[in-house]
Amino acid sequence: MKLQRKTRRALALGALAVSGALALTACGSDDTGSKNNAGGGSSTTASNSSIKCDDAKGQLLADGSSAQKNAIDAWVKQFSQACGVQINYKGGGSGAGVTAFTQGQVAFAGSDSALKPEEVTASKKICTGGQGIDLPMVGGPIAVGYNVPGVDNLVLDAPTLAKIFDSKIKNWDDAAIKKLNPDAKLPNLKIQAFHRSDESGTTDNFTKYLKAATPENWKYEGGKAWQAKGGQAAPQSSGVAQQVKQTNGAIGYFELSYAKGMSTVDIDTGASAPVKATVENATKAIADAKVVGTGNDLALQLNYNTKAEGAYPMVLVTYEIVCDKGNKADTLPATKAFLRYIASEEGQSILTENDYAPIPDAIISKVRTTIDGLS
């Protein structure tokens, strides 16, 4: 009899514990302060997290910027665990993402460049009663990685970078590189410059920097497609980074998160000291950006030619592109819930852990308001 009473008591305590856990799971707070429930239904919140799942369900297809792929992967891991929504982000490049979006193949796209006027026009065909808008979500430096034996520290300026990537400086012991690095033991080694083979917002921002900082040495129009002569091509940021790692004499551009295990160039901007490619130094440059989009569009204008102390000028901002109105009813709840999470204080804090820069408060607060109004 005593054993039976102990068993019944243990079962009762177990039931109370489960009940308490369920109650805690149903509670929580939203870092954005939003009370909007996507789809207008009930809201559930993950335990120990600000993630609000709302009516999110099923799966989302997305494509675009490979620059933000590492950030998206980190976000998806947290969001999917909390809400059970499967998100398939291909990371095929900004050009592929925008094309997929304007053709109605994805719920949202990622791009390191804001939508062009013709792309906005194309988006109106799939955004019923609305259009595609740019939501700045991920910031960070475009690092220039290199593989030169015996050279652990390398300083370059905009003119020298432009000449390297335009095949006008062809050897690592060139006089221009020596002048910037008097203490380095530069080898007589051919430069292998790698650029993106696919259309890329990273290319767009990299060449915007060269065009702004040294227009006399970079006379190409710019854009997502590589235009300079010579060099070697590789697909996506991961492909360029891999080629630099395995090729003697290589140099290439990609986001800082892809530069693990290799040396990166310090940029001589004209400030008192060369500037390293770090999240903190990129944030100093992004904070100087201006919102130039109209209406719900939050496209930014970056100052690539900054000479501010400690500001790393070669930066990009990745936008999530979504319809402001006319999103598909079956994907809208999950899209809003995911975007709300990644724009939240918790979501943005994940960026620094993955070598990205959070969007400054003054801008991300506008992003959160815009997300709440998506329909």
Tell me the per-residue pLDDT of 320-330, one tens digit each, with 9 for 90 and over: 999 999 999 99
Judge contact between 281 and 312, C-beta under 8 A: yes
Binned at pLDDT 50, 70 and 90, residue 338 comes out as very high
Q: What is the pLDDT of residue 41?
A: 33
Percent of the chain with pLDDT over 70: 87
If one counts every other C-beta atom within 10 angstroms of the C-beta of residue 360, the result is 16
Measured distance CA(375)–CA(325) in Å, rounded: 5
Which among 37, 203, 193 has a CA at the least distance from the CA of 113? 203
Q: What is the pLDDT of residue 33?
A: 34
pLDDT in tens, 77-100: 999 999 999 999 999 999 999 999
Q: What is the pLDDT of residue 283?
A: 85
The yes-or-no verdict on residue 6 having pLDDT over 90 is: no
DSSP summary character for residue 171: B
- Mean pLDDT value of segment 287-293: 89
Judge contact between 319 and 114, C-beta under 8 A: yes
Secondary structure class of 212 (helix, strand, coil):
helix
Binned at pLDDT 50, 70 and 90, residue 289 comes out as confident
Q: Degrees (nearest 5) of the Cα angle 124, 129, 132?
A: 40
Q: How far is CA 112 from the centre of its chain?
A: 7
Q: What is the pLDDT of residue 3?
A: 41
Which among 321, 343, 325 has a CA at the least distance from the CA of 100? 321
Total residue length of the chain: 375
Instruction: Extract the tokens encoding 92.
Output: 């095929």
User: Helix axis angle, 158-165 relative to 201-213, nearest 10°?
Assistant: 130
- Mean pLDDT value of segment 29-58: 54
Give the torsion sign (CA, 175, 233, 218, 305).
negative
- Mean pLDDT value of segment 218-230: 94
Binned at pLDDT 50, 70 and 90, residue 48 comes out as low
Secondary structure class of 254 (helix, strand, coil):
strand
Q: What is the pLDDT of residue 54?
A: 86
List all residues 6 or more positions away from 174 whose beta carbon is below 8 Å from its beta carbon: none
Please state, rounded to an integer, the average pLDDT across all residues of the chain. 88
Judge contact between 206 and 218, C-beta under 8 A: no
Measured distance CA(349)–CA(76) in Å, rounded: 14
Higher pLDDT, 39 or 255: 255
Measured distance CA(66)–CA(203) in Å, rounded: 11
Q: What are phi and psi of 88, to 5 degrees?
A: -105, 100
- Mean pLDDT value of segment 266-278: 96
Give the torsion sign (CA, 301, 304, 306, 310).
positive
Measured distance CA(234)–CA(248) in Å, rounded: 16
Measured distance CA(339)–CA(51) in Å, rounded: 10
What ranges make up the beta strands (E) of 130-262? Answer: 132-147, 155-157, 192-196, 232-234, 250-255
Q: How far is CA 248 from the centre of its chain?
A: 28
- Mean pLDDT value of segment 137-154: 96
pLDDT in tens, 176-214: 999 999 999 999 999 999 999 998 889 999 999 999 999
pTM beyond cutoff 0.85:
no
Q: Which helix (H) or strand (E) holds 348?
A: helix 345-353
**H-helix segments, 103-172:** 117-123, 158-165
